[in-house]
Amino acid sequence: MPKNVTLPYNGLALDRGRRGDPDWVASARAAGRVLAFWRDRCLVAGGVPVNMTTSPREALFLGEGAVGVFAVDLSDVAEDAAVREADADAAVDIRGLFTGLDPQEAATLAYARGMLHWTRNQRFCGACGGETAAEQAGHVRRCGACRKMHFPRIEPAVIMLVESRDRRRCLLARHRGSVAFSTLAGFLEIGESLEDAVRRELAEEAGVLAREVAYQASQAWPFPSGLMVGFRAVAETDTVAVDHDELDEARWFTRDEVRALGDRRPDSIESHLVGTWLREG
């Protein structure tokens, strides 16, 4: 059985239970913290996220911690205008800030980024095209024409560490346009289980059939709206037949060869999957 693990962006401690109380939300906004984003990038001053409590913009309620935490989106103006409005000095990718953040701050910023991305892309109803408006402090958008309610959706994806039959090597692939080797991953499709998705992705992209598929851990991944579900799999054969559609190359690596490739991105579940496998041999 997989052990409990703590992964980046997981464990968000904000309480969203009072989002249905507009009076409380308004009061919390006045005394709370308001994060600012521009087109999925966090506005910072001196490397620290700015606080736009006094901004007149509509704010999305993220949850309650020591104070209420909110987020505003300045994507309707140019980047330099957004920086000035927020009294910031830059708009940065939060993954670039990751190594300097504590786990709760990283989870909060990632959550804010994902929710604002959804809000920006749900301004119109997918059923009738009518304009939507925020309800539940920004966690629901209702169409003004057909009254359909729209909720934030996640896009689950599987990511897998695939072992050879003798378990001494793992499969890594180089995606088209990339120079780095990484584990395989892919989005879940309608009508399949998570395990089905692992087997399909391996077969489609690398021509590898899996005889064992075992869940390891999951990770919040709001970039923009994902959930990464990690698995270990064991191949039935060592034959690899790359599709050359999504992958340029895939091959088996020994543990020493994987170590020689260098470290993975520290905020990704891939680092956990590969690191766990390396420590076993």
pLDDT digits (tens, 9 = 90+) for 70-111: 999 999 999 999 999 999 999 999 999 999 999 999 999 999
Asked if residues 226 and 156 have their Cβ atoms less than 8 Å apart, the reply is: yes
The predicted pLDDT at position 63 comes to 97
Domain map (residue ranges) of the chain: 22-121, 155-279
Convert the pLDDT of each residue in 144-178 to its tens digit. Answer: 999 999 999 999 999 999 999 999 999 999 998 89
Q: Residue 220: pLDDT above 90? A: yes
Locate 21 and state its tokens.
Answer: 């109380």
Q: What is the mean pLDDT of residues 199-219?
A: 96
Q: Residue 11: pLDDT above 60? A: yes
Show Cβ contacts of residue 179 under 8 Å, excluding neighbours closer than 6 positions. none
Query: For the whole model, what pTM was predicted?
Result: 0.92
Distances (CA, A) of 281 to 55, 146, 170, 185, 238: 54, 59, 12, 23, 19
Return d(Cα 110, Cα 203) in angstroms, integer.
32
Q: Do domains 22-121 and 155-279 have the same CATH topology?
A: yes
Distances (CA, A) of 25 to 2, 51, 71, 85: 39, 17, 13, 23
Return d(Cα 71, Cα 43) in angstroms, integer.
11
Element holding 105 (H helix, E strand): helix 103-120
Locate 22 and state its tokens.
Answer: 């507009």
Return d(Cα 270, Cα 170) in angstroms, integer.
13
Question: What is the DSSP track for 191-228?
Answer: T--HHHHHHHHIIIII---EEEEEEEEEEEETTTTEEE
Confidence class for position 4, pLDDT limits 50, 70, 90: confident
Asked if residues 250 and 243 have their Cβ atoms less than 8 Å apart, the reply is: no
Confidence class for position 247, pLDDT limits 50, 70, 90: very high
Return d(Cα 278, Cα 259) in angstroms, integer.
8
The predicted pLDDT at position 155 comes to 96
The predicted pLDDT at position 211 comes to 87
The predicted pLDDT at position 145 comes to 98
Asked if residues 97 and 62 have their Cβ atoms less than 8 Å apart, the reply is: no
**Beta bridge pairs of residue 200:** none
Q: Residue 131: how many CA atoms within 13 Å on its side-chain side?
A: 1
> Can you name the CATH fold of 22-121?
Nucleoside Triphosphate Pyrophosphohydrolase (3.90.79)
The predicted pLDDT at position 3 comes to 63
Q: Per the CATH hierarchy, to which homologous superfamily does domain 155-279 belong?
A: Nucleoside Triphosphate Pyrophosphohydrolase (3.90.79.10)
Tell me what the pLDDT averaged over the chain comes to: 95
Return d(Cα 274, Cα 281) in angstroms, integer.
12
The predicted pLDDT at position 2 comes to 60
Confidence class for position 5, pLDDT limits 50, 70, 90: confident
Q: Which residue type occupies 39?
A: R
